Structure 1
Amino acid sequence: MDLETAGVRGAEPRPYFFLSYAHTPRNDPKDKDPNLWVERFYRDLCAHVLQLTSLPAGVPAGFLDQQMQPGEGWQERLSESLAYCRVFVPLYSPRYFLSEQCGREWYAFSSRAVHNQAARSNGSQMSGIVPALWVPVPPRQLPQPAERLQFNHATFGDDYADEGFYGLIKLRYLRDQYERAVYLLAKRIVKVAEQIRMPEGDPHQDYASVPSAFGPPGRARQMEISVLACSHSDLPADRAPDCYGPAQRDWNPYHPKLSRPLADHAVDLVRNLDYQVRVGDFETEAERLLGSDRPMAPGLLLLDRWALDAPHRRELVRRLGEVARPWISVMVPWNRDDPDSGRRESELRAVTEEALEPRSEEESGHRSHGGGVPTLEAFSQELPGAVRAAERHYAAHAETFPPAGGSGRIPRLLLDGVGYGSTSDFVPPVHGKVHDKGGADDGEASEGEDPSNDREP
């Protein structure tokens, strides 16, 4: 169903774009709401998108959390809007990348983009994310998901790239540049929406369990993904070759729904959690991964149950469970629709559980429950928890070294002495706002000026 022509399913219309921004708190309860300028920018952007599309009456151009009504389930509305919107517009500021709320919104939408790529056989990568600058952020302070977008903000104008929308809307002499930049952003949103038909997400997902796409401030985190699977050359006699390739990392248990190796799909999901990722074959690197009691990085093992037909591979997995290495999370993907797995389900499950049996439950780390992960959707839902478990155990077991200055990404800015993860910036919408009238500083729009007033004659 086309969102632009249908627009509505059930009671809630679907937004064309989702504006994600970090709320700026008041320094004093008597101060005017500092987020009024974001609301003004949002209305201007919606007006342009409406002019540039054929959205029917009743279909909102965008979604902004300030639109929600008192008493409304805000988590449910956020989940629905993130599941159905066509384009995600993060409003960059230093505060944005410290916000767990914004990180959740980013991850929820970007997961849809990963599943869109999973179904595309041509391997094209289009994220559906169109970033906008509220306040410019130095590139080296961006987390990995934002850094990979490589968006050239100067295409909307040099003043916009230097000042962001906040500077353009506040400084009177830049009003023309503001109007131009908003219009160009609207054009970009519409262009991306027309180029990409993003698959719908889950409107009923538990929003509280969605992870943040932004890691803690500081150097980028590392994650090792290893694959222990069969290849075309060593398949069991009763195993069809459809899910395999020349190398172990070509394994794709969710074929044909997934059009590429599972390791590539996992890499995109882990990168969306703000990690740099290294991928390898577990069998080839077993001595390095199993030969030390101290981890070099947290790890994620993708285990093909059919690979355990080979005794030497069963021994490798047994070693993993025998000596506690909980910083390596183990996921066991399998496809409930695969006829080969169905015929040997009980046997393969028993062999896998025996090989993975840990020395003690508390030292086992993450293991897929119930014999494996039966669908691609279940795999994508389980992966963030597996990554968090590996990271937590890694932090508990890794050696600590004094910082070697000068390398890595510049730590992201801390605001008011508050670090990542300690703020909850969601503020329920305030209705019936009163906009004070007052004078303006030279060259600056007044804080008391009602942002809802049109500037057009």
Structure 2
Amino acid sequence: MRPAPPQPRCWFFLSYAHSQPLPGREETDTDGNVRTFFRHLSAEVARLTGAGEGTQVGFFADLAEAGSNWKAVQSEMLAVADVFVALYSPNYFNKSWPMREREAFLQRLSTVLPAQEQRLRHVVPVLWVPLPPWNDIPEHGTALALGRGVPEYEENGLRALCMLRVYQPAYRRILQRLAQHIVDVARTSPVGPSAPLQIDEVRPERRPVRPAGDTEKPFLISVLCPTLEHLPEGRSPTPYGATRQRWRPFGAMRELPVADYAANTAERRGLPTRIIDATQDGAAELFDTCPTLLLLDPWTLAAPGGAEILALVAKHLHPWVTCLVVADRQDPEHAGRGAELSTQATARLGRIGARRVITVLDVDELANRMPAIVESTRKEYLSTGMVFPPKGPHETRPTLRGRRQGPGTSGKEE
């Protein structure tokens, strides 16, 4: 039997601010300038390596074929790429997927390259869009170093250089410099292929590029559902995972947890997001200061300690907290007990103070309504949450005459 031909080498993996495709949806949030830059960088790397015409020398998410297992393709390419090129922009750090890509690549390197300095050579940050002056991204300096001697790069970012004809000489200099770095690192410090990580299980630390005290809070996705360890009696374990964040209520959407789906929808609207387990210490208190979508599995009421779990959020169901009761009418266990629990959950939420309660019973309804749910939740927070904060101590605002006194004080200045 003739051996299979060797696979082309993946010299670089291009990471940028994008979201995971929504199941069953053809929409994409890929910036067309990223495609153009990827094509130019691939051509330059191919020239330096002598790769044949048409040979794929790099990868980015838009190359995954429609209908393919997108996450598996991403994981496989991260496991064989030599260099990770990250297009830094404010949204890069506010979207969960590029941060997962980066963390998965770093975890792979940690198993084959013992020295941190050696590992960091394989991660090349590029200033795609200028970051705000208050950013605290340690690699910002490395991204700027790529453009040393090219002031147009630091001032405008590589995206503008790629777009505008007037900047083409500067763009070509950065492009050639980056391609040469990729080839040099891959040749002098080869890492070889590794076993793919499950990228959807990677949970990196989020580093939103925002100043302390910025008025835009993260859009919270909070989950209340059973876990494999605490299942209701007689309930199938299929929709559940080791953590609440892994809950997959719909058989037609098993590959994407409903919390990730909601976060993906919010991210596509430019909102920084955060997924939390509502039962963790202090988690419900975040509802007080953030627009919040609470995802509730009705089977929570039948789980051990279900009533106590729901009570954890009772004091934090502000007008800007949307409670979404999620069930699957196609689930064989929904008919009968599941439907009864859905009715009970809606009624219980109303009794404990929830003002915004919505029920969805199939995946198409979830997909059609989720964008509007995200938008209305955020708008409610902007109109009421920021104007009328929850009761309790608050920082007094400075005035020209001193500090304004809080409610209930004499109003006299000391």
- TM-score normalised to the size of structure 1? 0.43
Bigger RCO of structures 1 and 2 (CA < 8 A, at least 6 apart): 1
